[in-house]
Amino acid sequence: MSIFKRKIFAFFKNPLNLPLILLCKDVRVGGLGFVFILENKIIKIRDKKRVKKVENEFNDFELWNLENIEYEKEKFQKLNNKKAVIIDDKLFLEKIDGDSLVNYLEKEEFLVFLEKAIIKLKKIDYHGDFHLDNILVGQNGEIYFIDFEYSYHSRLKGYEKEIDILLLLYELKKQFPKFFKVSVIKLKGLIFRHFEKNNLLKAKELIKNYLKDEIDEIFE
């Protein structure tokens, strides 16, 4: 979808955002609402209807909790050493000069950057929505994490990082099945270099209703 079409779509979703739609370089609609991309900053605005729908979806799996924008602000600042501020229920984030990890999927550096992301993940508590679009690669190969709208359900305590990894693999297979199929051996080697297999299996059991049998080949 072109930028123009995304702006039109955003307008029909909420005409009250017209000033930002006109001002921004690009806009994304999804997740919990609207993401406006400006020259040096990102502005995130949550949509109440979308938030309510996501909350209802979460009840089906007892997997995530929906966090407030103060939580997202604090985590963004802490993990990226970047500025963030909340004004009138809008979250203003310092723009990160980098590309989504998904853009490296067909490049040799992909597994190198993925491993760097995993190493960074192990140094924090957990992400909560750990997938390729939420991992950014900076100009010098540094890794940044974005989108901290979710935390994990209390029943998953102690296995949050393992669940981050399993959900990344799940999304990778679902969105890029051909890549996953040809890369599964390398992915297994990478994952088991950094995580105990038994802990990953315990985490897999905790979210089996969500994963089903989708990534069983990782454990074969």
Q: Report the pLDDT value the prediction gives residue 151, as an integer from 0 to 100.
A: 96
The reported pLDDT for the residue numbered 122 is 96
Give the Cβ contact number of residue 15 at 10 Å.
9
State the pLDDT at residue 37: 97
pLDDT for the residue 87: 97
Q: What pLDDT, on a 0 to 100 scale, did the predictor assign at position 31? A: 87
pLDDT of residue 150: 95
Residue closest to 142 by CA, chosen among 163, 112, 164: 112
Could you say which residues of the chain have pLDDT below 50? none
- Give residue 204's pLDDT: 97
Give percent of the chain with pLDDT exceeding 70. 100
- pLDDT for the residue 61: 83
pLDDT of 179: 96
Using alpha carbons, select from 155, 137, 171 the residue that is nearest to residue 203.
Answer: 155
Q: What is the pLDDT of residue 24?
A: 97
Q: For position 56, what pLDDT does the model report?
A: 86
Q: Are 168 and 132 in contact (CB under 8 A)?
A: yes
Predicted structure pTM score: 0.94
**What is the pLDDT at residue 11?**
96
Domains of the chain plus CATH, in order, are: 3-95 (no CATH), 99-219 (1.10.510)
